[in-house]
């Protein structure tokens, strides 16, 4: 098990309720606080510069924020089917709504800035694999660079799976293009910006931590305890969960980003007997295996290859520390 504790120099920010995702723009970190529906700007000394945005459905408001990315000198937030654009002072600049003619029920999962602009990874029905990629165009539309044969809605709904063995979709800018795949697999696929496959980036040598035999039961119990539902809804949920399948181990990582030494991985490590209780570490793959960076394990870890933002969840808020990669 991995001990997780904030270093004494980490700063507690009561205004920060969570750190769903983060992106570094102009030397500062922008933390997506999914619980509060806000963005928090954190400087290189881990100080809170400002907070902006609010929960809601109007322009510049965040209803279901999923991911965050740099967008040139600005910040882009994926919120349901909308990408909200802010400048670094928190001013709302624009929004881009996602739509594709052959995709009636898109489910967006990842937002990434590529050399050509913003790109999203998505699927055409909630619960389906998110294996399509589209890039935002200057004209306000979307250009699909990776697609799949569209399914009819009945076929799609009938094919919804309770197989959780591929649960962590990954997408990152890499080597002039991008990589995409699932953390649970042994390799990610590398693509050029036009969607042509250029090779594989494998992570089979990353350590994997076995899940205990009671992992599925613990997950099912927590899902039932966390859900407010009628007796009929609970019975239906129990029937679905009876068919659930889990991988035999935690995925080796849940986030990757391109760096000078190749992909930088955010590794998942268990910190208790609870199969849902994992912490994060950072590192790269070398010829000798996984080379962990000397930063403490944390609840939240984000990097752009130059700087690292680490966060530790507490009842009073989130403790944050920022590290310079060159000083590690």
Q: What's the confidence (pLDDT) of residue 114?
A: 95
Question: Residue 164: pLDDT above 70?
Answer: no
Percent of the chain with pLDDT over 90: 53
Structure tokens at 224: 């039932």
**Confidence tier at 156 by pLDDT (50, 70, 90):** very low
Q: What's the confidence (pLDDT) of residue 202?
A: 93
Summarize the confidence of residues 130-157 as an average pLDDT: 72
Average pLDDT value for the chain: 85
Distance CA 191, CA 223 (A): 36
Question: Residue 263: pLDDT above 60?
Answer: yes
Distance CA 81, CA 187 (A): 29
Question: Residue 327: pLDDT above 60?
Answer: yes
**Confidence tier at 94 by pLDDT (50, 70, 90):** very high
pLDDT digits (tens, 9 = 90+) for 2-27: 888 999 999 999 999 999 999 999 99
Distance CA 83, CA 129 (A): 21
- Burial profile 173-191: b = 16 or more Cβ within 10 angstroms, e = fewer: bbeebbbbbbbbbeebebb
| Closest to 184 in 3D by CA, of 279, 280, 250 | 250
Summarize the confidence of residues 22-39 as an average pLDDT: 96
**Confidence tier at 165 by pLDDT (50, 70, 90):** low
Q: How far apart are the first and last CA of the chain?
A: 24
Distance CA 102, CA 89 (A): 37
pLDDT digits (tens, 9 = 90+) for 276-320: 688 999 999 877 777 889 999 999 999 999 999 999 999 999 999
Least confident among 31-45, 89-103, 145-159: 145-159
Pairwise pLDDT comparison (289 vs 256), residue with the higher score: 256
For domain 11-211+246-327, say whether CATH 3.40.630.30 is its number: no
Q: What's the confidence (pLDDT) of residue 157?
A: 44
**Confidence tier at 271 by pLDDT (50, 70, 90):** confident
Summarize the confidence of residues 141-166 as an average pLDDT: 59
Percent of the chain with pLDDT over 70: 81
The domain ranges of the chain are 11-211+246-327
Pairwise pLDDT comparison (92 vs 243), residue with the higher score: 92
Q: What's the confidence (pLDDT) of residue 311?
A: 98
Distance CA 174, CA 115 (A): 10
Question: Residue 158: pLDDT above 50?
Answer: no
Pairwise pLDDT comparison (287 vs 114), residue with the higher score: 114
Q: What's the confidence (pLDDT) of residue 161?
A: 47
């Amino acid at each position: 098990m991995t001990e997780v504790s904030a270093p004494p120099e980490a700063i507690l920010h009561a205004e920060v309720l969570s750190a769903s995702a983060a992106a570094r723009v102009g030397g500062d970190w922008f933390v997506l606080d999914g619980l509060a529906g806000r963005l928090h700007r954190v400087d290189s000394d881990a100080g809170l510069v400002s907070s902006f945005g609010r929960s809601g459905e109007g322009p510049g408001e965040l209803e279901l924020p999923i991911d965050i990315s740099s967008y040139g000198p600005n910040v882009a937030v994926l919120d349901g089917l909308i990408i909200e654009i802010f400048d670094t002072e928190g001013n709302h600049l624009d929004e881009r709504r996602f739509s594709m003619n052959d995709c009636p029920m898109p489910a967006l999962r990842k937002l990434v800035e590529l050399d050509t602009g913003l790109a999203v990874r998505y699927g055409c029905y909630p619960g389906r694999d998110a294996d399509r990629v589209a890039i935002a165009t200057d004209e306000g539309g979307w250009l699909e660079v990776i697609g799949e044969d569209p399914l009819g809605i009945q076929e799609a709904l009938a094919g919804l799976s309770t197989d959780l063995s591929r649960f962590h979709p990954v997408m990152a800018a890499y080597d002039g293009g991008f990589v995409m795949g699932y953390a649970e697999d042994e390799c990610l696929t590398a693509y050029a910006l036009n969607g042509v496959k250029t090779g594989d980036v494998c992570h089979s040598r990353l350590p994997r931590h076995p899940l205990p035999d009671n992992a599925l039961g613990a997950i099912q119990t927590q899902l039932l305890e966390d859900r407010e539902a009628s007796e009929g809804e609970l019975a239906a949920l129990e029937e679905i969960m009876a068919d659930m399948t889990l991988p035999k181990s935690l995925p080796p990582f849940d986030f990757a980003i391109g760096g000078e030494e190749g992909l930088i991985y955010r590794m998942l490590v268990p910190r208790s007997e609870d199969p849902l209780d994992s912490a994060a570490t950072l590192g790269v793959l070398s010829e000798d295996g996984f080379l962990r960076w000397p930063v403490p394990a944390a609840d939240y870890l984000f990097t752009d290859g130059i700087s690292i933002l680490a966060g530790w969840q507490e009842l009073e808020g989130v403790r944050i520390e920022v590290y310079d990669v060159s000083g590690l």
